[in-house]
Amino acid sequence: MDRNEIASKRKEEVIKLLQNMNIKKDADGGFAKEAVYASMQDLCNLYEANIAQLEQTFDSEIQVLQKQMQAEKTSMEQRIAESKRQAEQEAEIKMKEIQQRLQKYEANNDVYINMMMEAKKNSNEIVSRARAEVTQMLEEGRAQLAEEEKKQEEERLQLQAEKVRTQTELQQEREEFEKEAQASRSRFEMEMKALRDKIEADKAESEILLKAQKEQAEEDMQMAKAKSQMQIEAAWAEAERQINEKRAQVNAELEAEQKRIRVQLESEQKRITEQLEARQQKVQADLEAREKKINEELETKQSKVNAQLEADQNRVREELEAEKKKVREELAAEKNRVREELAAEQNKVNAQLKAKEERVNHELERKQQRVRQELEAEQQAVRKEVQEARAKSQAEVKAVQESLAKNVQQARENFNSEVQTMRANLEIEMQNEKSMARAEINRMKAEMEEQKKALESRMEQERRNLELEEKKLQQQKYKYSTYIETIEGEFGKVKSDIGSVTEALEGIRSKLYFQDKDEITRSYTDTSTDIEDVLVESDD
């Protein structure tokens, strides 16, 4: 499978995992922390599996490259042996040609000797001409030999320059690799610094959260105090017969409020502990994966964290791809260059003698051995640097975890001490409130006793006043009774007068019966009305 297909497949797996995340909503708003942490843990596990798979793939590719280099080395050795055989054959052919040329030269020499003999025999001119021709031939041979030596010197200088160029290229590649290693080390240090800054920010945020929780607890205590005060004030307005019931009710409400505050404090402590543990897990996940970042607003920042993790993964994948591509290109360039050099050397060896061919082959073998040694040294150095960086990162992660655990333990101990102090202060305040309530209730009792005594004294005074009024009424009654007796005596006299009048007027009774009866009745009615008015006034 192609590397791009593998990368796209991994990307699809990550996208599918992110799409299938079923993060539950929390009742208080936002997302549930356990679901978020479980999803982030699945994502981290997927990233770790991908990283492990990438490492295995990288190791397998390194092994494949090593096998390819070994095969190329074997094929190169075979080609070198074949080139040696071809060079030997060509050397034999050259030797045969040289022998033929020597034979030709010897034949020509015989001809020249004959010509010289003939010239000596014929004339001095012929001898001088033959000498000039021989000298010219010798000069041409020397010039040809000097040209061959010059070509050999140029080839030697070219080989030396090629050697220097190869060393320069290797030095440049080593410097570039060191620069890239330094840049990666600096990037890693910057990421670690960013992680440390984030840990400090999380620590400050946890401290702010603890402070806010403390202030909230104090506000709840103040509200509880105000509520208990209102209940006590409401209890003060009750009557004397409800004091005992209200006292029990107030005590029950105080105990319930104390239990509620204690439960609330325990729940807050548990929630803060869970938050601290969650932050510790978050920091640990950030340090291990270096890709997972979760902020306070999980709903809005989850996409950012996923995008950042995706970007980091793509960046790491691109860096790995770039490194692999660069290594392949370098190996391919090195192979091509070595092939070109071998072809050039083979062409040169074909034109040179056996000794020069052996020297060039030896130089090539030594150069290949040096290149392989340098490559192996570079690979070992890279592995060593990777192991050192991994060990350093693990040590830093462990140190950060230990410091974070110590800080969390210290914060937990401080929070427990503060909770205990707050609980003790709350109990003291509740005792003070109870004592104040008892004192207030006792004061109310005393006031009610005083009011009762005042009411009793008023009732006694009213009773005395009533007795005095009753005495006055008795006196008035006695006075009115005597007055009534006087009136009755007067009325008796009137009756006797009326009787005498009736006896005197019996003669005319029939005539004046109705008129006299009306007058008597009217007078009697007037008298009764006057008596009733007098009685009403006396009653008033």
Q: Which helix (H) or strand (E) holds 77?
A: helix 33-122
Q: Which DSSP category does 24 fall into? A: P
Quote the pLDDT of residue 403: 63
The label of the residue with tokens 């609330």 reads: 264
The label of the residue with tokens 């021709």 reads: 133
**Cα separation, 308 vs 47, whole angstroms:** 13
What pLDDT digit, counting tens, does each position of 501-527 carry?
A: 556 556 555 555 555 555 545 554 554
pLDDT at 119 over 60: no
What pLDDT digit, counting tens, does each position of 81-97 carry?
A: 786 677 678 767 766 77
The maximal CA–CA distance of the chain, rounded, in angstroms, is 249
pTM > 0.75: no
User: 40-44, 335-339, 392-396, 535-539: lowest mean pLDDT where?
Assistant: 535-539
Q: By percentage, how much of the chain surpasses pLDDT 70? A: 29
pLDDT at 147 over 60: yes
* 471-509 b/e (C-beta count within 10 Å ≥ 16 → b): eeeeeeeeebeeebeeeeeebeeeeeeeeeeeeeeeeee
Break the chain into its structural domains and give their ranges. Answer: 3-444
Q: For residue 182, count other CB atoms closer than 10 A to its CB.
A: 10
**Cα separation, 35 vs 69, whole angstroms:** 50
What pLDDT digit, counting tens, does each position of 191-239 carry?
A: 667 766 766 776 667 667 667 666 775 676 667 556 656 665 665 556 5
Quote the pLDDT of residue 530: 52
Averaged pLDDT for residues 139-165: 74
**pLDDT tier, 71 (very low <50, low <70, confident <90, very high otherwise):** confident
Averaged pLDDT for residues 273-287: 64
Comparing 499 with 530, the larger pLDDT belongs to: 499
What pLDDT digit, counting tens, does each position of 416-451 carry?
A: 676 576 667 667 766 776 677 567 667 766 776 776
Quote the pLDDT of residue 538: 45
**pLDDT tier, 535 (very low <50, low <70, confident <90, very high otherwise):** very low
User: 186-190, 432-436, 455-459, 505-509: lowest mean pLDDT where?
Assistant: 505-509
Query: What is the per-residue DSSP string for 385-443?
Result: HHHHHHHHHHHHHHHHHHHHHHHHHHHHHHHHHHHHHHHHHHHHHHHHHHHHHHHHHHH
The label of the residue with tokens 């020397």 reads: 142
**pLDDT tier, 536 (very low <50, low <70, confident <90, very high otherwise):** very low
**Cα separation, 35 vs 32, whole angstroms:** 5
Q: Phi first, then psi: what are they for 327, rounded to 5°?
A: -65, -45
Report the helix count and the strand count for the chain, using DSSP H and E: 7, 0
